[in-house]
């Protein structure tokens, strides 16, 4: 994990006292709410329906147990005892008081955390693969690159007042667990044709919101040494040419679309030519320095089997289910990756209580080398668990209600806060996700359905990523009632796709049935159990689903 | 007193904006700055004057349009029409870093306390603060942060290369 230098610490302390000054000026009336807004947003502080909301960054999704305990402490002391893990490796607190926020930031700074640039029209927290460094399909660990991007983008003086927010994601594996295609810039680590060099496939102009678009490949291979100069060139073109006349047309996706991919590429390459040899060019020394923070932990040389584990697999169906659904293979023999499901019928998706956070920190120390990761689908990961420890870990997770066997399955729903918290919402989303979870909460059914995703957003801003779910649900307000539009066929992975609206919207009390019908059509139509929902949908198109829903 | 900061000191502003070229009015003496199109149209006439010259860019202009003129100019005025409109940050860096401008780069418009640090890093050294800002109080803003990660007009190298 990256270790802060004295200067990194200094920067956080200066930032906290600067923000304390801004809050002070606001409370004294020296700053108008409008001007304070620009400042607080650059520090992750939104004004919500009932209160402020504070979004804290978890750079590329990596947390130490000590950091997790601080998050628990903040939830307990300044909030109502819980926090909400978002789809972009942040945690959100829904109830902080404005005057407490500087103290919260102080507490965070002690454990090398902050809320810098977690909102506002600037470069946001860079996100990555939650399995970075442990995945079997990894080409190279993306975290050193993420850390370089974090430093480059933090308080970048030129790009702090962009036309619109700017999100970057980096994936280092063949499977995309970071949704790079729906980011303003997505970087996918690849090997060059000669296979000797590592570099990036560069996607620009992805994003959801009211005009969902997938990123375009602006460069098929960018040598890794050029990563930051190239990012700087893209951002510079965007800062000068991105639209500022209409907030809905201000994201880089619209600039790429309106300029045309070819012309946009030319603009970026022309700017890049002028700066590629500058101070941001990355040398071997720079990589060696930053990679030094992400060396493999001291794994034990252990066999990839364990008698107690295997016995329990045979004798305890519940344990076997959990292993089947929530455990993934590790690059290291004898180790496993464990998903902690934050999706039960009793909690909004992504919510974790302070007590759970503390307990998870303890489990990380006991079983997983003291680290926790957060995922795009709003779950947590213990990345380095020994096979022999799985039975004990399972017992403890069950007691914490974190062992629902549903990772990447139908009840593993992404949902935004919706009308329960959000000032922009047009409909509720959490109650819908809970109703769906309650309806389909049957292991055999979930297992039979296999890999399928449901995402829910409470308005067109699409924080719940409904466009890129296999089954997407968008809440809208139609003449005073909340109704729900159904979108089918999206994907946020390496086969990324924007889903299509299937037909007229459903009332709140019809939407769960509608989802049920869609799932039934799939189960009846698939050619074999291995054919996933998405494969079936792609083979058959909308017709049979439409027929069942509206016929 | 002008609400004006130059090179981190509260200062008085000796420059006059001038836009009357088209009506054929005679050129004033002293230090003046003109909109960029007047400069491009009447370069020769402007250069016959005594007194220093400046040019004001719109924030949609590519600073390249004056790159060959910069050694004859002492001031380039940039606009921040709204706080949220950050195009002039890029213009300032290009003027300083790419085109080597040594004169004053001045920020005008919504020039507010919390942006001064970023403007300075991009090469701005003249600040026409908005009327409601207090120039002497604002001097603190330049030193609120002392650590910077990335290269800009004030640093050629990123932090990770400066330490070693
Ligand atoms: C409750 C307070 C929230 C507010 C006011 C809010 C507001 C917004 C708005 C206005 C947008 C659209 C921006 C645009 O398209 O330019 C957006 C996008 C987004 N939000 Fe939120 N959001 C909130 C909570 C969340 C939460 C809890 C999550 C994660 C679960 C989230 C994740 C996202 C993501 C990933 C996008 C990007 C979609 C895209 O690429 O356009 N937001 N949000
Ligand atoms: S999608 Fe809409 S309702 Fe949901 S959090 Fe975002 S802005 Fe709020």
**Domain segments of chain B as ranges:** 4-162
Query: pLDDT of A187-221, one tens digit each?
Result: 999 998 887 899 999 999 999 998 999 999 999 99
- Other C-beta atoms within 10 Å of A162: how many? 27
Angstroms from B102 CA to nearest CA on chain A: 19
C-beta contacts of A218-223 below 8 A and 24+ residues apart: A218/A261, A218/A264, A218/A265, A218/A268, A219/A265, A221/A190, A221/A192, A221/A193, A223/A192, A223/A197, A223/A199
Pick the atom of ligand 2 nearest to A423's CA: 8
A39 chain-B contacts, CB cut-off 8 A: 114
Cβ atoms A286, A234 nearer than 8 A: no
Question: Using the beta-carbon criterion (under 8 Å), do B89 and A160 form an inter-chain contact?
Answer: yes
DSSP annotation string for A456-506 = EESSTT-TT-GGGSSEEEEEEEETTEEEEEEEES-B-STT-B--EE-SS-E
Structure tokens that stand for A107 in this block? 């507490």
**Chain mean pLDDT for chain A:** 95
Angstroms from B138 CA to nearest CA on chain A: 13
Ligand 2 contact, A462 CB (< 6 A):
yes
Query: pLDDT of A455-470, one tens digit each?
Result: 999 999 999 999 999 9
What pLDDT, on the 0 to 100 scale, is given for residue A33? 85
What pLDDT, on the 0 to 100 scale, is given for residue B1? 60
Question: Using the beta-carbon criterion (under 8 Å), do B84 and A289 form an inter-chain contact?
Answer: no
Question: Using the beta-carbon criterion (under 8 Å), do B121 and A157 form an inter-chain contact?
Answer: yes
- CA nearest to B86 within chain A: A161
The residues of B whose Cβ lies within 8 A of any Cβ of A are 62, 83-87, 89-91, 93, 98, 112, 114-115, 117-119, 121-122, 144-152, 155-161, 163-164
Angle value at C-alpha A190, between A184 and A192, nearest 5 degrees: 125
Considering every ligand atom, which ligand is closest to the CA of A462?
Answer: 2
Structure tokens that stand for A402 in this block? 């974190």
Query: pLDDT of A1-41, one tens digit each?
Result: 999 999 999 999 999 999 999 899 888 888 888 888 888 88
Percent of chain A clearing pLDDT 90 (strictly above): 88
The DSSP symbol for A295 reads P
Structure tokens that stand for A329 in this block? 């293979």
Q: Is A140 a residue whose pLDDT tops 60?
A: yes
Residue A114, helix vs strand vs coil: coil
What pLDDT, on the 0 to 100 scale, is given for residue A32? 86
Whole-number Å distance, alpha carbon A462 to ligand 1 midpoint, is 6
Q: pLDDT band for position A544 (50/70/90)?
A: very high
Which of the two residues, A543 and A87, has the higher pLDDT score? Answer: A543
Cβ atoms A475, A458 nearer than 8 A: yes
Pick the atom of ligand 2 nearest to A426's CA: 3
Query: pLDDT of A273-317, one tens digit each?
Result: 999 999 999 999 999 999 999 999 999 999 999 999 999 999 999
What pLDDT, on the 0 to 100 scale, is given for residue A379? 95
Query: pLDDT of A392-422, one tens digit each?
Result: 999 999 999 999 999 999 999 999 989 988 8
User: What ipTM is given for this predicted complex?
Assistant: 0.96
Whole-number Å distance, alpha carbon A186 to ligand 2 midpoint, is 23
Query: pLDDT of B112-146, one tens digit each?
Result: 999 999 999 999 999 999 999 999 999 999 999 99
**Domains assigned to chain A:** 6-110 (3.90.480.20), 134-293 (3.30.413.10), 307-399 (3.90.480.20), 414-550 (3.30.413.10)
Give backbone dihedrals phi and psi of B5, rounded to 5 degrees, phi first: -120, 135
Return the sign of the alpha-carbon dihedral for residues A30, A33, A35, A37. Answer: positive
Nearest CA to ligand 1 atom 20: A463
Between CA A378 and CA A414 the distance in angstroms is: 7
Spatial CB neighbours of A531, under 8 Å, sequence gap ≥ 6: A539
What pLDDT, on the 0 to 100 scale, is given for residue B23? 66
User: Is A333 part of the contact surface with chain B (CB cutoff 8 Å)?
Assistant: no
Predicted structure pTM score = 0.94
Of all residues in chain A, what percent are helix, strand and coil, respectively (each to 5)? 40, 20, 40
What pLDDT, on the 0 to 100 scale, is given for residue A543? 97
**Overall average pLDDT of the A356-361 stretch:** 98
What is the 3-class SS of A372-397, one letter each residue? EEECCCCCEEEEEEEHHHHHHHHHHH
B145 chain-A contacts, CB cut-off 8 A: 11, 14-15, 18, 155
Query: pLDDT of A88-122, one tens digit each?
Result: 899 999 889 988 999 999 999 999 999 999 999 99
Spatial CB neighbours of A253, under 8 Å, sequence gap ≥ 6: A184, A205, A206, A207, A211, A213, A215
- CA nearest to A165 within chain B: B84
Based on C-alpha coordinates, what's the Rg of chain A? Answer: 23
Q: Which of A43-57, A70-84, A143-157 has the lowest mean pLDDT?
A: A43-57
Whole-number Å distance, alpha carbon A483 to ligand 2 midpoint, is 15
Question: Using the beta-carbon criterion (under 8 Å), do B90 and A240 form an inter-chain contact?
Answer: yes
**Dihedral through CA A133, CA A138, CA A142, CA A143, nearest 10?**
-10
- Other C-beta atoms within 10 Å of A527: how many? 9
Q: Which amino acids bring their CB within 6 angstroms of ligand 1?
A: A 46, 48, 53, 84, 86-88, 92, 164-165, 182, 207-209, 251, 416-417, 421-424, 461-463
Based on C-alpha coordinates, what's the Rg of chain B? Answer: 16
Whole-number Å distance, alpha carbon B69 to ligand 2 midpoint, is 50
Nearest CA to ligand 1 atom 14: A209
**Overall average pLDDT of the A416-439 stretch:** 93
Spatial CB neighbours of A329, under 8 Å, sequence gap ≥ 6: A136, A336, A337
Whole-number Å distance, alpha carbon B146 to ligand 2 midpoint, is 37
What pLDDT, on the 0 to 100 scale, is given for residue B22? 66
A·B CB contacts under 8 A: 105
What pLDDT, on the 0 to 100 scale, is given for residue A259? 97
Q: pLDDT band for position A346 (50/70/90)?
A: confident
> Which of B27, B37, B41, B6 shows the shortest CA–CA distance to B111?
B6
Instruction: Please tell us whether the domain made up of B4-162 is placed in CATH 3.20.20.70.
Output: yes
Ligand 2 contact, A457 CB (< 6 A):
yes
Between CA A111 and CA A101 the distance in angstroms is: 16
What pLDDT, on the 0 to 100 scale, is given for residue A31? 86
**Dihedral through CA A506, CA A511, CA A517, CA A522, nearest 10?**
100
User: What's the first-to-final CA gap in chain B, in angstroms?
Assistant: 45
Between CA A169 and CA A146 the distance in angstroms is: 8
Packing angle of the helix pair A317-326, A307-315 (nearest 10 deg): 110
**Overall average pLDDT of the A251-267 stretch:** 97
User: Is A152 part of the contact surface with chain B (CB cutoff 8 Å)?
Assistant: yes
Considering every ligand atom, which ligand is closest to the CA of A379?
Answer: 1
Cβ atoms A108, A123 nearer than 8 A: no
Q: Is A130 a residue whose pLDDT tops 60?
A: yes
Pick the atom of ligand 1 nearest to A183's CA: 40
Query: pLDDT of B75-119, one tens digit each?
Result: 999 999 999 999 999 999 999 999 999 999 999 999 999 999 999
Return the sign of the alpha-carbon dihedral for residues A511, A513, A515, A521. Answer: negative
């Amino acid at each position: 994990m990256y270790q802060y230098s004295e200067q990194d610490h200094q920067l956080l302390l200066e930032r906290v006292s600067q923000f304390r000054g801004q809050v002070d000026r606001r409370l004294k009336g020296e700053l108008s709410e409008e001007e304070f807004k620009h400042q607080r947003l650059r520090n992750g502080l939104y004004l919500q329906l009932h209160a402020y909301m504070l979004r804290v960054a978890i750079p590329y999704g990596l947390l130490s147990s000590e950091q997790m305990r601080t998050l628990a402490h903040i939830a307990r002391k300044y909030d109502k005892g819980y926090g909400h893990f978002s789809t972009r490796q942040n945690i959100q607190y829904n109830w902080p008081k404005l005057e407490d926020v500087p103290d919260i930031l102080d507490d965070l700074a002690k454990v090398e955390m902050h809320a810098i640039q977690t909102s506002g029209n600037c470069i946001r927290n860079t996100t990555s693969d939650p399995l970075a460094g442990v995945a079997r399909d990894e080409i190279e660990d993306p975290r050193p690159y993420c850390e370089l991007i974090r430093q480059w983008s933090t308080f970048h003086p030129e790009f702090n007042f962009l036309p619109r927010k700017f999100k970057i994601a980096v994936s280092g594996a063949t499977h995309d667990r970071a949704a790079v295609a729906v980011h303003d810039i997505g970087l996918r680590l690849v090997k060059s044709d000669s296979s000797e060099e590592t570099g990036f496939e560069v996607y620009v102009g992805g994003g959801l919101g009211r005009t969902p678009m997938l990123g375009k490949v602006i460069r098929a291979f960018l040598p890794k040494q050029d990563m930051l100069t190239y990012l700087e060139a893209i951002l510079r073109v965007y800062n000068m040419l991105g639209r500022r006349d209409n907030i809905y047309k201000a994201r880089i996706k619209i600039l790429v679309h309106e300029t045309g991919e070819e012309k946009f590429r030319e603009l970026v390459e022309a700017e890049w030519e002028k700066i590629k040899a500058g101070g941001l060019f990355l040398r071997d020394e720079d990589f060696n320095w930053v990679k030094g923070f992400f060396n493999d932990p001291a794994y034990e040389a252990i066999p990839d089997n364990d008698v107690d584990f295997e016995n329990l697999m045979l004798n305890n169906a519940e344990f076997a289910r959990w292993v089947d659904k929530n455990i993934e293979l590790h690059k290291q023999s004898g180790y496993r990756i464990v998903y902690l499901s934050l999706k039960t019928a009793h909690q909004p998706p992504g919510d974790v209580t302070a007590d759970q956070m503390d307990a998870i920190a303890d489990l990380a120390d006991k079983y997983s080398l003291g680290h926790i990761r957060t995922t795009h689908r709003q779950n947590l990961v213990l990345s380095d668990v020994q096979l022999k420890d799985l039975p004990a870990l399972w017992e403890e997770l069950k007691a914490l209600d974190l062992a629902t066997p549903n990772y990447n399955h139908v009840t593993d729903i992404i949902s935004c806060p919706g009308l329960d918290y959000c000032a922009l919402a047009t409909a509720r989303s959490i109650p819908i996700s809970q109703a769906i979870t309650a309806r389909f909460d049957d292991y055999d059914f979930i297992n039979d359905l296999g890999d399928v995703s449901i995402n829910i957003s409470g308005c067109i801003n699409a924080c719940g990523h409904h466009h890129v779910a296999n089954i997407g649900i968008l809440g809208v307000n139609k003449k005073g009632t909340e109704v729900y539009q159904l979108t089918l066929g999206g994907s946020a992975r390496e086969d990324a796709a924007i889903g299509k609206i299937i037909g007229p919207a459903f009332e709140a009390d019809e939407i769960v049935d509608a989802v049920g019908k869609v799932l039934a059509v799939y189960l009846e139509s698939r050619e074999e159990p291995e054919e996933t929902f998405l494969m079936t949908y792609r083979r058959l198109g909308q017709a049979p689903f439409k027929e069942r829903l509206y016929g | 007193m002008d609400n004006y900061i130059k090179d981190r000191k509260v200062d008085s502003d000796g420059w006059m904006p001038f836009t009357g070229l088209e009506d054929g009015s005679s050129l004033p003496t002293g230090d003046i700055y003109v909109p960029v199109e007047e400069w491009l149209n009447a370069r020769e006439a402007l250069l016959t004057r005594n007194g220093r010259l400046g040019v004001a860019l719109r924030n949609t202009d590519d600073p390249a349009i004056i790159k060959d003129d910069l050694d004859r100019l002492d001031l380039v005025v940039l606009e921040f029409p709204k706080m949220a409109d950050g195009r002039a940050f890029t213009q300032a860096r290009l003027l300083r870093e790419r085109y080597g401008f040594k004169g004053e780069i001045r920020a005008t418009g919504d020039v507010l306390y919390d942006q001064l640090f970023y403007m300075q890093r991009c090469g701005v050294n003249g600040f026409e603060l908005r009327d409601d800002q207090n120039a002497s109080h604002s001097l603190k803003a330049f030193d609120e942060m002392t650590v910077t990660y990335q290269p800009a007009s004030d640093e050629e190298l990123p932090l990770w290369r400066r330490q070693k």
